[in-house]
Amino acid sequence: MADADGVYVFFGDYGLIAYSHSGKERWRHPLGPFNNVNGHGSSPMLAGGRVVMLCDQDSNSYMLAVDRRTGKTAWKVERPEVVRSYTTPSVWRGQLIVPGSYYLTSYSAVTGEKLWWIGGMSWQPKSTPIVDGDTVYAHWREGGGEAEVPTVTPEFSEVLPKFDADKDGRVSKPEVAQDTPMTCGFENNDLASDGFLDQRDWDNYRSRRASRNTLLAVRPGDLRGDLTSHPTAVQWRMQKFLPNVPSPLLYDGVMYLVKDGGILTTLDPKTGAIHK
């Protein structure tokens, strides 16, 4: 991304680098290495005179803002409640609107303060939120979130005795050798890639199985805190025909969704009702 002073780029294997318009390096800010199984999908963005970079990953997710002139850290917020995502946030009224796994969260672009959040969506979102007047739209889609009735998964304390043959309090791949679904999903669920499923890995797996893909319309006003069950903040949720990667498009009072495989859906952004 670029401004009057130059160009800002992010390399997943290095971090942030700023160049002048003539290509001269102005500053560099190393980041990583990241723990993100599919690579880093987020792009840097400019907000409040800073370069903001979302660094969601399977462990130690965070977001930071650096001064666009110097590259020095202005603020950094940890995001321990989320894991993998590939989104680039949007800016709405001085707030950074950030889709992450299971949550949509707003932060002050100036201070990084967490302002409000909404839960109940699926993991690894990829698209960028739409902002339109007083409403924000964001969407989540992943393969496991398509079930109309989310699956209830037992607690870690219930499954551990069944698999933990060597009684070390965690589950290794050989210990689940007889359980095909567990073996197939092992690497995906082993967030820190340490070869064991522990409490954190299992809690994330439970959240995945309990979540649903969602297109969400939010009117946050000046509200703060947990808005998940707020009567007016969440305008509507829609759970069908959602694309995996492409962002929704809002144009001339109609929202467009293009789903993998070639399904185009149009809907009313005020109500979430499907036109066709």
Q: Which is nearer to Ca ion, 142 or 190 (CB)?
A: 190
How far is it, in rounded angstroms, from Cα 187 to Cα 195?
8
> Which residues in 216-245 contact Ca ion (CB under 5 A)?
none
Size of the site for Ca ion (CB under 5 A): 8
Minimum CB distance to Ca ion, residue 191 (Å): 6
The window from 72-80, 149-157, 198-206, 263-271 that contacts Ca ion (CB under 5 A) reads 198-206
Q: Does 203 bind Ca ion (CB under 5 A)?
A: no
Q: Which is nearer to Ca ion, 200 or 240 (CB)?
A: 200
Q: Which is nearer to Ca ion, 56 or 58 (CB)?
A: 58
Q: Which is nearer to Ca ion, 132 or 187 (CB)?
A: 187
Residues 114 and 97 sit within 8 Å (Cβ to Cβ): no
> Which residues in 162-191 contact Ca ion (CB under 5 A)?
164, 166, 168, 190
The dihedrals phi and psi of 67, each to the nearest 5 degrees, come to: -60, 130
The window from 102-110, 140-148, 193-201, 263-271 that contacts Ca ion (CB under 5 A) reads 193-201
Q: Which is nearer to Ca ion, 184 or 263 (CB)?
A: 184
Cα 87 to chain centroid, rounded: 6
For Ca ion, the binding residue among 3, 13, 187, 194 (CB under 5 A) is 194
List C-alpha distances in Å: 122 to 21, 49, 152, 157: 40, 32, 14, 23
Going by their DSSP bridges, the two strands 225-226 and 114-119 should be labelled as parallel
For Ca ion, the binding residue among 17, 54, 201, 227 (CB under 5 A) is 201
Minimum CB distance to Ca ion, residue 253 (Å): 47
The window from 8-16, 39-47, 99-107, 156-164 that contacts Ca ion (CB under 5 A) reads 156-164
Amino acid at 260: D
Minimum CB distance to Ca ion, residue 219 (Å): 39
Q: Which is nearer to Ca ion, 165 or 254 (CB)?
A: 165
Q: Kindly write out the interface string for residues 22-61 of this chain, putting x where it contacts Ca ion by CB under 5 A and - elsewhere.
A: ----------------------------------------
Q: Which is nearer to Ca ion, 81 or 164 (CB)?
A: 164
Q: How many CA atoms lie within 13 A of 55 on its CB side?
A: 26
Which residues contact Ca ion by CB under 5 A? 164, 166, 168, 190, 192, 194, 196, 201
